[in-house]
Structure 1
Amino acid sequence: ILQNVRVYINGYLRDTTDIEMKRRVIEAGGRVMYTAAGATHILTSQQLNGGKTHKLLSSRTPSKVSVVRPEWVLDSILAGKRLPERQYHVVRDESSRTLLP
């Protein structure tokens, strides 16, 4: 389900723990990263701090990292397939350069 997905967990995760999310990601075929470098997804239940958000959105080479809520992992597992990230974004895609409300 999460093949080729490399997850970095950043901060607070609502209704779950980082240990549980790491276990679920690995069981679904993904990898857990211990730094954001090389990650395809950052899991968090809250917006990144201003510096991290600015770095992500203003990068000269826009990052392909999706900053998503942990529900994306859980819902993908329940669905039996990788779901589109857009409904789970904490930060909008690079083209809009804005934060979600």
Structure 2
Amino acid sequence: MNTIMTLHLRLLALGAVALVSSLARAGDEPPPPHHRGPPPEAIAACKGKTAGASVSFTGRRGETVTGTCETINGVLAARPANMPPPPGASAPSR
């Protein structure tokens, strides 16, 4: 019985070491980047343009995106035509 208990304690200790080791390694890796704000393609499409300009650019999936340049999070970028306005913004008149 004593041998079995010793074996269990050793296995438990090995498991604890493995857990702590994996947690330490996970802490060394930077978190994945979070996308906030307009994508670089939308910003590039409006470079040298003014708010209200109509533009088109190639999206991340290779599709053609059309939109209008507007200031988004302090940056002039294209808002796709099919994208709803941000909360609290008034809908454009047609």
Structure with higher Rg: it is 2
Q: Which has the higher relative contact order, 1 or 2, with Cα contacts under 8 A spaced 6 or more apart?
A: 1
TM-score by length of 1: 0.21
TM-score by length of 2: 0.22
User: Which of the pair is proportionally richer in strand?
Assistant: 2
